[in-house]
A and B are shown apart, each in its own frame.
Chain A
Amino acid sequence: MSAHLPILQVVVPLLAAPLCAFLRNARAAAVIAVLASWATLAVALSLLGDVMSAGVISYEIGDWAPPLGIEYRVDIVNAWVLVIVSTIASVVAPYMITSVEDEVERRRIPLFHAAYLLCLAGLLGITITGDVFNVFVFLEISSLSAYALIAMGTRRRALTAAFRYLVMGTVGATFIVIGIGLLYVMTGSLNMADLAVLLPEVWDSRTVKVAYGFLGVGCCLKLALFPLHLWLPNAYAFAPSAVTAFLASTATKVAVYMLLRFFLTIFGAPFSFGVMGLDRVLLPLALAAVVTMSLVAIFQVDVKRLLAYSSVAQIGYMVLGLSFASVTGLTATLLHLFNHALMKGALFMAMGCVVYRIGSVHIDAMAGLGKRMPWTMAAFVVGGLSLVGVPLTVGFVSKWFLILGALERGWWPVAVVVLLASVLALVYVWRVVEAAYFRPAGGDEGTREAPWRLLVPTWVLVGANLYFGIGAARTARVAERAAEVLMTGVGP
C-alpha cells in the first residue's frame, strides 16, 4: 500500500466527506472526521520520511504517464507543507467536536464535518499535485467548503464576511486560471516539472510575463498579502472558532506554498528574481504588511479580529523571507509556515475556549479571565509570547532566520523593522493579557474553566510551540533542505 501513499493523502478525507454527509448522527460524523484527519497525518509523516531518505516520489493517476497524465509529485517542499496541514487538522478535529456542538445548529453538524473534510482534502490536494490545473480544481474545492464553513458562524455578519471572501476568492482563483491558460498557450503543458523545463525557452515572450503577473496577483489574493487582505479579518473574526483555528493555520499557508511553487519551481528562481524583479516588488509590500497590520491590530477590541490582523502581519514575514531571494530567507519562510500554524492555531483555539464559556471575545468581556480560566489564558500567554518571538518559543526561531537572512543581504534596516514589529506584537498581546490578568473581573461569577476536551488539543499545540522552539534543529534542517530544493529548481 505504501506505493499509493500520495493518492491516499487526498482520497481518505475525500471519501470520508460523503460518509459524513450520509450520517444523521453528529457524534458519528465527528468520529469519522477525527479518524480521517489522523490518517492524513500518518500518511503525511511517512511521505516526509520517504522523501527525506529516497528523494522525489511521483504517482501517476490512472496509470497515465506525465506530462500527459496527472501526476502527484512529492518532494521535500510539499511533504513539509502536507505535514503542517495534516498536523493542524489532526489537532483541530478533536477540538471541533465540542466547539462545534456549542456554535453550530445541531442538524447541520454532520454537514459541517463533511465540509471540513472537503476543505482538508482540497488543501492537501493543492499541495500534493504536480499538475497546475489540478491546483485550481483543489483550490476551488477548499475555497467553496471554506465559504460554507465560515457562513456557519453564529452571528449574521458571518454571512457577509463569507460573501466578501467568496467574491475576492473567486476573483483570485479566476486570475490563477488565466495565468495557467496563458502558460498552456505558450508551452502546451500543464505538468509542473514539464513546464519548468519548457518555460526558459519562452522567457522573453510578453505572454509569459503577463501569466506571471496574473498568477502572482491571484496567489497574493488567496494568501492575503497586505493590500489584498480585505476579506481576511472579518472572515476569521465571525467564523466558528474551530474553523478560524483551522483556516488561519492552514489555508493561507497553502496559498504561500502555491506562490512558492509557481514562482520558484515552475518559473524558476533565475526568472523570478533575475528577470521579473520579484524581490523588489515583494519587499515593500511585506514590510508594509508587517508594520501597518500590527498597528491596526493594536486598536482592535474583538480579540479574534485582533489575531486576524496579526495573521496578515505574520503573512508579511513569510513573504519577506521570500523577498530576500536567498536560501536563508526561504528557510525562514518555510519555518514560519510551520511555526505560525502552531502559534495561531493555539491562540485561536484558546479564543474558542473563551467563546465556549462566555460567548464573546470582546476585550472588555475578557476582564479578569486569568483567574477564572487559568489554563485557557495561560495557553494564550504562551501563544502570545511565541507570536512576539520570545526565545524558547517557535516564534523566536522564525525571527532568528529572518534577521539572519536580512543581514546576509546587508539589509540591516529590514532587520530593525522586524524587531520593531515584534514590539508592536508585544503591545497587542499585552492588551489582552492586561485585560485578563490585571483588570477586576466583571460579569458572571460562575464562569468556569473550559472543558478538558477543548483544553487538551489547545495545550498539545502550546506544547508543540515550546517543543519545536527549544529543539528547533530538526525543523530547521528540513526547512533548509526544502529551501535549497526551491532555489535550485526541480528537485534532485
Chain B
Amino acid sequence: MSLDLFVSHYNYWVVIFLMMVGFYILISRGNLIKKIVGLNVFQTAVFMLYISMGKISGGTPPILVDPKGEGKGHGGAETVGEAAAEIVYSNPLPHVLILTAIVVGIATTSVGLALAVRIKEAYGTMEEDEINRIEAETEAGE
C-alpha cells in the first residue's frame, strides 16, 4: 500500500481505530457502565463512517442557497434553481440516516443504563465477574 492511499483514506483509519477502541472496551471491561461507553464509541465510529462518505470536497451544506444573498431561499425557487447547477452540495442522505442512527444509539444507551441501574439495585454491584459469582452461588443453592 502506498503512502498516498494511506493518507487519502485517512477517514477510514480514524473509523477503524475508533471502532476497535470501542470494541476492545466492550470486550475487556467487566464494569457494565464501561461496557455501555464502549458500545457508544463503537457506534460513533459507524456514524463517522457514514458522515465522512457524504462529504464532497468543496461542497456546502445541502440547503438551497441564493448566490446574490437575497431572501432566504424560501420563495425564490426559480432563481435558486438556476444557480443550483453551479453549487456543489454535500450528500445529505448519510446525515439523515445517521441522525436516525444517533437517535437509536441514544435509545440503546438509555435502555442499557436503565438495566445497569436495576442490576446494581438487584445485585449490589456492577462488575460482571461479581455478578457471575453471585449467579453461580444462587444456582448452586437451588
Contact = CB atoms under 8 A, between A and B. Distances in A.
Interface stretch (A51-59, A176-184, A272-280, A349-357): A176-184
A166 B112 contact: yes
A480 interface: no
Contact of B39 (A140, A147, A167): A167
A94 to B, nearest CB: 28
Given A163-B119, A362-B142, A148 B49 contact: no
- Chain A's interface size range is 20 to 34
Contact of B53 (A148, A163, A181): A181
Nearest to A165: B115
Contact of A159 (B46, B122, B142): B122
Given A156-B122, A181-B50, A166 B108 contact: yes
A163 B112 contact: yes
B59 to A, nearest CB: 15
A177 B43 CA distance: 9
Given A160-B131, A167-B26, A174 B42 contact: yes
A295 interface: no
B46 A181 contact: yes
Q: Which of B23, B49, B108 has the most CB of A within 10 A?
A: B108
B133 to A, nearest CB: 12
Interface stretch (B64-72, B74-82, B97-105): B97-105
A144 interface: yes
B32 interface: yes
Interface of B: 23, 26, 32, 35, 39, 42-43, 46, 49-50, 53, 93-94, 97, 100-101, 104, 107-108, 111-112, 115-116, 118-119, 122-123, 131, 135, 142
The 9 closest A-B pairs by CB, nearest first: A156-B122, A140-B104, A163-B115, A159-B119, A170-B108, A159-B118, A181-B50, A185-B53, A177-B46
24 contacts: A133-B100, A136-B104, A147-B115, A148-B111, A151-B115, A151-B118, A156-B119, A157-B135, A159-B122, A163-B32, A163-B112, A163-B119, A166-B112, A167-B26, A167-B35, A171-B26, A171-B39, A171-B42, A174-B43, A181-B46, A181-B49, A181-B50, A181-B94, A184-B53
